[in-house]
Amino acid sequence: MKRRVVITGLGMITPLGTGTDKSWKGLTEGRSAIKRITHFDPEGLPCQIAAEVSDFEIDNFIEIKEQKKMDRFIHLGLAAATLAMEDSGLKVTEHNADRIGVIVGAGIGGLSSIERYTKIINERGPKKVSPFFIPMTIINLTAGQISIRFGVKGPNSAIATACATGTHAIGDAFKLIQSGGAEAMICGGSEAVITPLGIAGFTAMKALSTRNNEPEKSSRPFDRDRDGFVMGEGAGILILEELEHAINRGARIYAELIGYGLNADAYHITSPAPNGEGAAKCMASSLQYAGINPEQVDYVNAHGTSTKYGDEIETTAIKKVFGDHAYKFCVSSTKSMIGHLLGAAGGVEAAICVLSIINKTVPPTINLDNPDTDCDLDYVPHKARSLDLNIAMSNSFGFGGTNACIIFRRFV
């Protein structure tokens, strides 16, 4: 019999603000955080816009000496984990440290540091490369730094599955607790690759929006005039606990995690399978794992990247899985406001699903001015909607055809 797993802590750093309250307020107000890039001068690049985290005060989370040993993606992930642990009230002691673990990943990792030290070695030679260069760039060091910060000695892992990273991290942590491998897990994703090479690389793939003159309108999932996704950055961390463990310590329980599905399209390195077969099977698998019927789902936080084929194919997949019920529930893409956080997207969007359940509110899909005729579901256009929802699903589909879906339920 599977052990029940609940969410007891949330930590969010998004382009709408540092902390859960700021992020949730911005989402429910339908505010776009997308602007012209300030991290570097984007002049000359076809895409000059992104969703940057602008209010992050690193000194509030990490000592100056330690900051220099980490890339920005680790800064954001460690800070979000700190917020989540504070929110949960979970205390790590010598008696429980071995039963608490970390699974936090990134899609790309320390790209900004790689770019910086490539310039340094070319201009100043190898002796000027920091001894911390490797630890500041490799993906597992967010999980490593979190474990060091809190003295967590249980299972420790890092996921790197592109845009599905955060969701896979949460799903794997969920199964680990269910099977008895841990009592609590710190899990999610972080990402910070708004860099010249990051933007140039995705632009070369023709994946990014080039609506530079209207940044706030550039991310428009399911809209007829969408022209690509917008890069975002941030981190989303959840604290998962075995139910009795949470109850025994008097924890506040946000919601219950009940389903997880993962699979592959086995089709193309960047494009989803045309018929949505992989995404549909992944959603169906998560429903089966949760032991619920499709008709019980009230809300789907869509992958919804604002790319031409991605949005159409996800819509097709949803209709395959849910049939007529697909027209009776809410689907929205919060990427319309905060952009695509890549490896952090799944963690942030999982937190959004949890907040939607406890606040009885579905965040909107903004900029949906001219719905695509092939995208004909209820995407909650423009304004948030009050809804007494019980079950929410979060979808994440990554390059390489890797898919992940998780399902949350109101805790009773």
| 295, 371: one domain | yes
Q: Which of the listed residues 197, 227, 248 is the one where a domain comes to its end?
A: 248
In a domain, 254, yes or no: no
Q: Which of the listed residues 248, 274, 305 is the one where a domain comes to its end?
A: 248
| 229, 339: one domain | no
Q: Which of 47, 163, 353, 375 is catalytic?
A: 163
Q: Confirm whether 340 is a catalytic residue.
A: yes
Measured CA to CA, the distance from residue 258 to residue 399 in angstroms comes to: 26
Per-residue pLDDT of the chain (412 residues; tens, 9 = 90+): 789 999 999 999 999 999 999 999 999 999 999 999 999 999 999 999 999 999 999 999 999 999 999 999 999 999 999 999 999 999 999 999 999 999 999 999 999 999 999 999 999 999 999 999 999 999 999 999 999 999 999 999 999 999 999 999 999 999 999 999 999 999 999 999 999 999 999 999 999 999 999 999 999 999 999 999 999 999 999 999 999 999 999 999 999 999 999 999 999 999 999 899 999 999 999 999 999 999 999 999 999 999 999 999 999 999 999 999 999 999 999 999 999 999 999 999 999 999 999 999 999 999 999 999 999 999 999 999 999 999 999 999 999 999 999 999 999 9
Q: Which of the listed residues 214, 248, 282 is the one where a domain comes to its end?
A: 248
Count of beta carbons in the 10 Å neighbourhood of residue 349:
27
| 227, 304: one domain | no
Q: Which of 75, 168, 245, 303 is catalytic?
A: 303
Domain count along the chain: 2
Six token digits for residue 21: 């309250």
Position 1 scores a pLDDT of: 73
| 197, 310: one domain | no
Q: How many helices (H) and strands (E) does the chain have?
A: 13, 15
For residue 289, give its domain range: 259-409
Angle between helices 308-322 and 277-290 (to 10 degrees): 40
| 102, 137: one domain | yes
CA angle 171, 350, 360 (to 5 degrees): 135
Q: What string of DSSP letters covers 142-183?
A: HHHHHHHHHT--S-EE----GGGHHHHHHHHHHHHHHTTS-S
In a domain, 150, yes or no: yes
| 92, 159: one domain | yes
| 289, 392: one domain | yes
Q: Confirm whether 382 is a catalytic residue.
A: no
Q: Which 8-state DSSP code applies to residue 410?
A: -
| 146, 21: one domain | yes
In a domain, 365, yes or no: yes
Cα–Cα separations (whole angstroms), residue 227 to 47, 185, 217, 341, 398: 11, 38, 11, 17, 18
For residue range 193-210, what is the model confidence (pLDDT) as tens digits? 999 999 999 999 999 999
In a domain, 208, yes or no: yes
Q: Which of 39, 282, 340, 375 is catalytic?
A: 340
For residue range 15-57, what is the model confidence (pLDDT) as tens digits? 999 999 999 999 999 999 999 999 999 999 999 999 999 999 9
| 277, 386: one domain | yes
Q: Confirm whether 39 is a catalytic residue.
A: no
Q: What is the CATH number of the domain that holds 337?
A: 3.40.47.10
For residue range 84-108, what is the model confidence (pLDDT) as tens digits? 999 999 999 999 999 999 999 999 9
| 232, 267: one domain | no
Position 140 scores a pLDDT of: 98
In a domain, 214, yes or no: yes
In a domain, 253, yes or no: no
| 238, 265: one domain | no
Six token digits for residue 90: 């979970």
Six token digits for residue 181: 């491998």
| 193, 48: one domain | yes
